[in-house]
Amino acid sequence: MATMVVPAAFALDAPRPWPDDPFLPVTSARIAALPAADQAAWRAYWEQSQARFMMLPPRDLLEHTPNTPMLHAPLGASFSVGLRLDASYTWYATEPARLIADRVVAWQSPTGGWSKNGNYTREWLPTDDHRDAWSGGTFDNDSTISELRYLARVISYDNTVPAVRLNRWKDCFMRGLEYVFAAQYPNGGYPQIYPLAGGYHDAITLNDDGYVHILQLLRDVGSREPEYAFVPEAVAARARRGFQLGLDCLLAVQLKSPTGRRTVWCQQYDALSLQPCSARNFEPAAECSRESAGVVKFLLSQPAPSPAMVAAVDGAMQWFADRVIHDKYWDRNAPAGADLEDRPGAPDLWARFYEFNTGKPIFGDRDRKIYYSVAQISFERRKGYTWYCPEPAELAPPYFYWQHKVAKNATGAP
């Protein structure tokens, strides 16, 4: 179970430097230092990542490629511009939907994945940066998983498309699914970027529910949901194995309190040590409410929860109850120096980050310091990040019914 040693509690009004961060990127040298029994699998992973990186155009060429302006994603469904993942089923059999599918195929990286912010409202051009130096493929901002889900819907809901076009979509989907299989670490985790790009991108990343979205896709493919009936059984079996491995890793990295009680999850974990780690300079290693709410929502959706899953959910729900903030409102656009406002009856809130084991909300800034009030950080960071969130409140109704289901399963009641 993941743990982290932190200094004694600091005064509420005293910003402090981040504690020593145990995170390091995945390297061949670190793999060589692993126990002998683990090295072969990790070495094979590393070599495959390097081989996929070599599929990309030369990095010096990519670094000078002009950027394509990012547009706002329609309907708020994804940063992948033009993907209509909330459209009616009949829409996926229309020519506009087919045209977007053609563009998804064109924007696929040679690695099999997709970079983020692909603009599917137009054709891909040689000057576009979807194969850029930042990413030969990523799961960040719903990338890759959204493209695969979109292709599956166009493939499955359209029985009239010519075989040549349909097969092109299927081939693209299968290459993308193979990319998902390849990106999974031997311990079941997933990096933010694959092929590995170094830095915090190598960390096992739960940020913005990216990890959960991967597991949801593997679950749906593995269970042969109607949208994925075209996937061969042998491939679906690989998805089932990947799902279970990823689920086991997710449960393994859940934090524990000093008394051994399960609590919640961090945004990122070191890929090799499974220790909590930081990401961007304003994202410290911490107990994280928003991403943990996404994990719990995912676990609540599983049809037959194991005892380990039950313990994980119960521990996280107790953690949420212990840290809820009542009758407060947060305005991210408030002037500098403004903190939470008193507002009786306001929806419950949680800080996004909490200091390990103390229950204190913490906040980061670009100076790589930890602050104990959102009013202490710069206006740019206060306005540009979700420091408070309501998502854990949405778990109460499904958790209530889930508890009854677990109790029935335990007693064998019909």
Query: Would you name the residues annotated as active-site residues?
Result: 141, 280
Within 8 A by CB and 6+ apart from 134, the residues are 115, 193, 197
What is the C-alpha separation between 118 and 327, in angstroms, rounded? Answer: 40
Q: Give dist(CA 312, CA 296) in Å, integer.
A: 8
Contacts of 32 (CB under 8 A, 6+ apart): 39
Q: Which residue, 86, 87, 134, 143, is CA-closest to 114?
A: 143
CA distance 367 to 386: 18
- Please state, in angstroms and rounded to a whole number, the distance separating the CA atoms of residues 404 and 400: 7
Please tell me the distance from the alpha carbon of residue 247 to that of residue 164, in angstroms, as a whole number.
Answer: 37
Contacts of 314 (CB under 8 A, 6+ apart): 262
Q: What are the tokens at 21?
A: 């961060």
**Would you give the end-to-end CA distance of the chain in angstroms?**
35
Length of the chain: 414
Cα 191 from Cα 194, distance rounded (Å): 7
